Amino acid sequence: MGDEAVTSAPVTPEDGAAGESGLLYGIVNEIISSPLNLVLVGVITILLYKIIRSRQQPTTLPEPEPELPRLRRDFTVSELKAYDGTQPDGRLLVAVNGTVYDVTKGKRFYGPGGPYSAFGGRDASRGLATFKVTSSSEDQYDDLSDLNASEMETVREWEQQFKEKYIVVGKLLKPGEQPTNYSDEVEQGAADGAGEQPRT
């Protein structure tokens, strides 16, 4: 009944309606008879819609990237090379003074196209020591024995930074060195996330 009144009101105003529907008709007629009122009704409708919508979805934060399962193993120099961020899982590892770190969360630095992508999947020690973003010693273990005292100190400082920021995966193996079997290790940081499982 009310709908009927709305649709027909501008063309043929009927005054036969009585009681409640008459009152409703009066209000509706009053609103639609003036362009200004129509505009105001429109504005109010839009504002109400926005308020309701903002209450329903208060903060839609972008989904955090799912963390990869924790990796725990040792690597030879050539095994490490695969982890330069070009694999489907995007895992990135960097070695500093014999320790391998998972730097996947720093992929804007070490990933493909990043400023330090030369360190991805590599032993970065010498580059860090000399402040050169180059991956030296392609496939050979670098024992760093020729670094001078201040270069050694620089490596130590970088190592400290990596330790604070990234998770240790294992050792970088010297030629002939056997990998450690970590499978008996008590799982660390289990409270950090549900997705964290040691991989063997």
- Phi and psi at residue 189, in whole multiples of 5°? 60, 35
CA distance 181 to 44: 68
Binder of ligand NAG out of 156, 165, 174, 199 (CB under 6 A): 156
Binder of ligand NAG out of 28, 67, 69, 98 (CB under 6 A): 98
For 51, 54, 64, the CA distances from 59, given in Å and listed in that order, are 13, 8, 14
Is there binding between residue 128 and ligand HEM (CB under 6 A)?
A: yes
Is there binding between residue 116 and ligand HEM (CB under 6 A)?
A: yes
CA distance 90 to 167: 16
CA distance 75 to 85: 16
Among ligand HEM, ligand NAG, none, partner that 188 touches (CB below 5 to 8 angstroms by kind): none
Among ligand HEM, ligand NAG, none, partner that 106 touches (CB below 5 to 8 angstroms by kind): ligand HEM
Three-state DSSP at 168 gives strand
Is there binding between residue 180 and ligand NAG (CB under 6 A)?
A: no
Contacts with ligand NAG, residue ranges (CB under 6 A): 97-98, 130, 144, 148-152, 155-156, 159, 181, 183-184
